[in-house]
Amino acid sequence: MISVNVPGKIILFGEHAVVYGRPAIAIPVHNVQAKVTISPIKGADEGSIYLDAPNVDISAWLHDLNEGQPLREAIQLTLNALNIHEFPAFQIRISSTIPVASGMGSSAAVSVALIRAVSIHLGNPLSIEQQSAYAFEVEKLHHGTPSGIDNNVVAHEKPIFYSRGEQPQIFIPGERMVFVIADTGIASQTSQAVAGVRERWVSDQDYYEAIFDQISELTVLAKRAINTGDNSTLGSLMNQNQVLLKALGVSCPEIEKLVQCAQSAGADGSKLSGAGQGGNIIALVPPSNETEVSNELKKAGATRIIVAEVSV
Ligand code: PMV
């Protein structure tokens, strides 16, 4: 039996702008994970695969799922890449503790876990780069024009600086970073948020390009602050990024409330993370303040708190 776990993720800087070629920064969140387990099925036809994914109500033979169904696609891409079509039947079980529709990379993590597990099971493990590349193809089915940051950060399981079309740069910060992740409780579809920004960008490219440029400048400064371990500057850059995300039209009153709450409770900085219009906010906190900020966020209506940490 093979079992693979892949973490969730948060975006620290540059969401949305990264779709338009600007740099972004993301970290894995190891205390939520997508898990894929593969075991043989005795007596079933050669080359058949049974998929059991209770979180999304799927329990079916792979060939009975519609073509283009993302789980089927991830497995099919892997089989094609390995050029293996004859194998003893096996069962794939998928489960995940990564919150869905909340900007934590659940779809990318499930794809990477599937691709990794199937390729290991078939005795020909794909490289991390290949896992990420095939997961990227599946991400396109989920939301049309993904930047590629989600599949890269979860496949590498390391903090990354990322620009579209380039190899991610893995980094270790100059100082420990602790993030409180607070859920607004509002489900957010990445495809809708990205499409909304696209629509506004089409109608006023100069305005939106200027915002993307400003986000890009903040991301470059954030990279420097991370490298030098300057968390207080990093927090202030997060606050500035949030103002620009609001200008892009991807914030909402619930996000603004939690962001303000975190700042008043002593966070170094806070912003939405991921597609926005709901989903999670993240707050960079001095480690001594983690409990205080978490408690205040709960009082302000956060429906779930997760803490993520990057050590030096
Ligand atoms: O909501 P998530 O976790 O899928 O993050 C989306 C990040 C965007 O920049 C809005 C889209 C992308 O593909 O990078």
> Given pLDDT bands bounded at 50, 70 and 90, which one contains residue 1?
very high
- Residue 171, pLDDT score: 95
Atom of ligand 1 nearest to the CA of 104: 3
- Residue 82, pLDDT score: 97
CA distance to 53, 74, 108, 135, 146, per residue, from 141 (Å): 18, 10, 11, 10, 9
Give me the mean pLDDT over the 112-136 stretch.
98
> Given pLDDT bands bounded at 50, 70 and 90, which one contains residue 59?
very high
Mean pLDDT of the chain: 96
For a mutational test of ligand 1's pocket, the pick from 12, 102, 149, i.e. the residue with the most ligand atoms closer than 8 A to its C-beta, is 149
- Residue 192, pLDDT score: 93
Are 250 and 197 spatial neighbours (Cβ–Cβ below 8 Å)?
yes
pLDDT in tens, 141-172: 987 889 999 999 999 999 999 999 999 999 99
In terms of DSSP H, where are the helices of 6-105?
A: 70-82
Residue 146 Cα to ligand 1 midpoint, Å, equals 7
For a mutational test of ligand 1's pocket, the pick from 183, 190, 216, i.e. the residue with the most ligand atoms closer than 8 A to its C-beta, is 190
- Residue 66: pLDDT over 90: yes
- Residue 306, pLDDT score: 97
Active site residue 150: yes
Residue 127 Cα to ligand 1 midpoint, Å, equals 23
- Residue 285, pLDDT score: 98
